[in-house]
Structures are given as C-alpha cells and as structure tokens.
C-alpha cells in the first residue's frame, strides 16, 4: 500500500494498522438496525423478562402535553408527579436486591444504615432525542475512530461516536459524548456536607459551549474543540472572582486540555496545566477534576474494559431533586441527600472498568462506571484506591431536559466514604432555575484568556 505522499507502508505496519481498534469498521447493515431492531441510540428496545424494565416508547420529544413547563432556565416539572414508590430499599432489606445494586450503593447502606434508603419507582423509557442527534449516531457509527492509543476520537460529531462499542475505550468515549445541550448559561450552587452535618455552600456562574451539539455548525466544519467552559465563583466572599477557563478537545492525544485560572489576589491570568486527572476540584477536596460526568478528560492513565451489561437501580426522572419547594436545609442532610428527593428506576446499564496502568499516577487504582443503555450517559461511578478499597461512590440525577430536548444529567453527588462527607454540584433549588439554553451562543472571544480576567473582576 502507498500513502498519498507516495511512501510505501511496510507490510507489518499495514497489518497492525488494519487490526488496530482505531481502524475497526462497522457494517452498514448493522447501522441500518438503528431505529428499527434497535432504538435510534443503539439500545435494546425490548423490556426485560419480568416487565420491571419496559419497552422503549420514545413518545416524548420535549415537554409532554400534560406538563406545564415555563421555558428554558426554569424548573423541569416531572411528567410522573402522581406516582408513588413501588418499594423502598433500606439497610434492612438491601440484600434482597444485590443483583441490582452497585458496590457503592451497598457501601452507603452499610455506612449509614439508619438514614440511607432508595425509593424505587416504575421505570420509564418514554423520552427520545432529536432527529439531529439520531441521524448523527448513524453517521458516527460509520466514521468515528479512536486515535492511536485511545486517548481521543476522530470522525465524530453531534452524538455518541460508537453505538456498537467494541472496547472499553470506545464505551468511555460514548459516555463523554452522550447528548448534551449546545450552550448554557446560569448560576449553580455547590454544597459540601461534612461528617458533622456542617455545610459549606458555594455559588458559581457557568457558561458552557459544546460545539459538537450545535446544530448551526456543519459537521465538516467542526473545529475539534469539544467544549469551551468558563466558571466564575460568586460566593463565598473569600473566593469571589476566582475564574477558570477550559478548552477541551475530542483528540486529546493531539491537543491536550488547555486551562487558565484568574485569581483576584494577583489580578493575573495564568495557565493551569494541573487542572486535569486527579487534581482536587471544589470545596472540601471530595472529588477530582476527572470525576465530572462520572468521568471526563484524558483516558490514557487507565486501561478500559467492558463488563457484562447489568440491570441497576439508577437515579432517573429525579425532578424532585431540583424542586424549589425543597430548600437546602431540608435537602442537604448529613452523609447523603434527603432520600425523599430521590427517585430510582431499574434500567439496563453498560458497565466499563478502568484500571490504572503500571507506572501511571492517580489517586484511584480502579474506577467502574454505569452508563444508561438508552443514552450512554454515566449515572453511577465507583472509585477504588490504589489498594483496591472502595474510596468514593458518585451519582448523577437524570431528568428530561425539555429544552434540549431529551434525557440529560442534572445534579452530581460525590460521596467520600473515608471522610464520610459528600459534595453536591449543580444545585438550583434556591436559585432562579437550572442554567438556560443560549441558542445564539457567544462570539469566539468570549471563551478567551483575555475575557477571563474581565469576568473575574
């Protein structure tokens, strides 16, 4: 074989290229199953044997007719507000449900037997994504590839890259590129609740732009920058004005994350190369930078493997968690969020495990993620220390984002089992509502180091 530059590729190198994960192709006949034998996202449309997981209906695109939704930037009312729990899992009966629980959930029952419980509701698969998302799933199936080494993707846009994942690396990239709103802006609260019940509350203004999900951007014009994010702390007073800018790329092997930080004390913007991997993030140091989304960023320090799909009780249709009627004093109970605000449903989950590679550094020796079958969104994560002990267990609430539209994550909760404390991100109960969609977007200069200093004042 001869390249476009006229260079001959040695036979051994050509064979390695053809057999590499990055060169695997999907059969067009397989792609044709999407939206037919499979859901448009690549899930099994059938329910499970006992009916506790229903068939996929996908009947709702945006707010259902019976839901009064006031528009982007306001609370998402539940489509199932009249439902009651089917049953509640407690420390007294959790052993009856071990097949459907993660190690992290079991650890919470064992650590907090008097207070932790999981109300389980009827499972729903009623929500679909836009044709824009579904069409690009098919396109990505034929064009998306892992880069050499697996630390990035190419040929993907506007949807998960690998609806037929053949490796753990492909599965973890599906999680990172699960459906998202293209542009959002708004204020959120971050709460850290310590073992004695003391609560530390921060406020942060966030502007987020995810170019791969911007319908105004032609697929062939995608810049390769997957995310632009500006975070400005507005409270407490001692942290006010601290600001961070992040540029994230789809191909991290070629373009590693760029980050800048503005500190009011110095009034200078500095490059922040350490804002990655296991760098502590947020008040209390209870999570790492790459804990976001259950996992985000460079994949190269871990070896990723697919485990068997499981039926797991996951946070789903958790609208009550954002309800402005539930104030923080009621929601932020010691050790974990108030179980009255939680809703769990049984769903099939993809499972991917990352084990730290020899010679690599990270506070986690192993991490296991549980991805919702219908969306590829990571909803649960168990993280283990270097000695194999369960260290932290994390979750994301999941609701129908009527303005996206489609199911999407809302609140992220990080439980540190050693410190017996937790951090909850993206809270909006005592604010105007969740971040609003920004259809018009921003000029490119908005996400620049020069503008970071202006925003941090």
pLDDT higher than threshold 70 for residue 281: yes
pLDDT higher than threshold 70 for residue 18: no
In whole angstroms, give the CA distance from residue 188 to residue 203.
Answer: 6
Average pLDDT over residues 263-269: 92
Element (H, E) at 314: strand 302-315
By C-alpha distance, which of 418, 366, 372, 370 is closest to 394?
370
In whole angstroms, give the CA distance from residue 237 to residue 20.
Answer: 52
pLDDT (tens digit per residue) in 127-142: 999 999 999 999 999 9
pLDDT of res. 274: 83
pLDDT higher than threshold 80 for residue 5: no
pLDDT higher than threshold 60 for residue 20: no
In the chain, domain spans:
87-455
pLDDT higher than threshold 60 for residue 28: yes
Q: List, in sequence order, every residue forming a beta bridge with 79; answer none if it has no partner.
A: none
pLDDT (tens digit per residue) in 145-165: 999 999 999 999 999 999 999
pLDDT of res. 380: 98
Average pLDDT over residues 165-180: 97
pLDDT higher than threshold 50 for residue 12: no
By C-alpha distance, which of 419, 383, 203 is closest to 302?
383
Average pLDDT over residues 250-258: 96
CATH code that applies to domain 87-455: 2.50.20.10
Q: Residue 450 — very low, low, confident or very high, per pLDDT cuts 50/70/90?
A: very high
pLDDT higher than threshold 80 for residue 403: yes
Average pLDDT over residues 99-112: 98
Question: Considering the chain, what percentage of its residues have pLDDT values greater than 70?
Answer: 95
pLDDT of res. 457: 67
pLDDT higher than threshold 80 for residue 1: no
Q: Decide if 222 contacts 211 (C-beta within 8 A).
A: yes
Average pLDDT over residues 265-276: 90
Parallel/antiparallel/unpaired status of strands 390-401 and 225-235: unpaired
pLDDT higher than threshold 70 for residue 16: no
Report H helices in 264-412: 328-331
By C-alpha distance, which of 14, 89, 41, 96 is closest to 343?
89
SS3 of 264-293: the string is: CCCCEEEECCCCCCCCECCHHHCCEHHHHH
Average pLDDT over residues 317-336: 97
Ramachandran quadrant class, 388 (left: phi over 0; alpha: psi -120 to 50; beta: rest): left
Block residue for tokens 């449903």: 345
Collect all residues with Cβ–Cβ distance below 8 Å to 63 and sequence separation of at least 6.
69, 400, 402, 405
Average pLDDT over residues 227-249: 96
pLDDT of res. 456: 72
pLDDT higher than threshold 80 for residue 359: yes
pLDDT (tens digit per residue) in 365-395: 999 999 999 999 999 999 999 999 999 999 9
By C-alpha distance, which of 383, 412, 448, 387 is closest to 102?
383
The model's pTM is 0.93
């Amino acid at each position: 074989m001869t390249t476009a530059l006229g260079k001959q590729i040695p036979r051994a190198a050509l064979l390695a290229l053809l057999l590499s994960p990055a060169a695997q192709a999907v059969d067009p006949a397989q792609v044709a199953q999407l939206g037919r034998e499979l859901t448009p996202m690549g899930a099994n449309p059938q329910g499970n044997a006992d009916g506790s997981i229903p068939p996929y209906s996908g009947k709702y695109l945006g707010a259902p007719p019976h839901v009064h939704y006031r528009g982007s930037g306001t609370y998402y009312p539940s489509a199932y507000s009249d439902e009651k729990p089917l049953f509640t899992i407690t420390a007294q009966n959790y052993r009856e449900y071990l097949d459907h629980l993660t190690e992290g959930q079991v650890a919470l029952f064992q650590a907090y037997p008097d207070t932790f419980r999981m109300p389980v509701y009827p499972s729903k698969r009623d929500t679909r994504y836009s044709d824009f998302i579904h069409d690009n799933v098919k396109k990505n199936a034929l064009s998306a590839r892992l880069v050499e080494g697996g630390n990035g993707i190419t040929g993907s846009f506007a949807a998960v890259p690998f609806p037929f994942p053949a490796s753990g690396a492909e599965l973890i990239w599906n999680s990172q590129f699960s459906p998202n709103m293209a542009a959002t802006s708004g204020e959120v609260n971050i709460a850290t609740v310590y073992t004695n019940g003391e609560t530390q509350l921060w406020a942060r203004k966030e502007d987020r732009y995810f170019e791969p999900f911007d319908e105004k951007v032609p697929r062939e014009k995608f810049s390769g920058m997957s995310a632009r994010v500006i975070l400005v702390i507005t409270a407490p007073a001692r942290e006010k004005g601290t600001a961070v800018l992040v540029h994230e790329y789809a191909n991290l092997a070629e373009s590693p994350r760029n980050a800048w930080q503005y500190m009011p004390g110095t009034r200078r913007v500095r490059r922040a190369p350490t804002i990655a991997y296991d760098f502590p993030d947020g008040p209390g140091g209870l999570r790492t930078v790459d804990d976001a989304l259950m996992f985000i960023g460079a994949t190269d320090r871990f070896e990723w493997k697919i485990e068997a799909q499981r039926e797991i009780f996951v946070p789903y249709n958790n609208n009550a968690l954002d309800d402005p009627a539930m104030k923080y004093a009621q929601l932020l109970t010691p050790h974990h969020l108030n179980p009255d605000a939680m809703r769990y449903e049984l769903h099939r989950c993809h499972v991917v495990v990352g084990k730290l590679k020899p010679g690599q550094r990270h506070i986690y020796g192993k991490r296991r993620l549980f991805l919702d079958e219908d969306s590829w969104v990571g909803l649960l994560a168990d993280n283990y220390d270097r000695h194999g002990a369960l260290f932290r267990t994390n979750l994301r609430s999941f609701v129908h984002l009527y303005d996206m539209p489609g199911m999407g994550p809302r609140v992220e909760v990080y439980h540190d089992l050693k410190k017996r404390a937790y951090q909850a991100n993206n809270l909006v109960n005592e604010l105007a509502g969740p971040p609003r969609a920004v259809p018009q977007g921003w000029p490119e200069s908005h996400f620049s180091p020069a503008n970071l200093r202006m925003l941090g004042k």
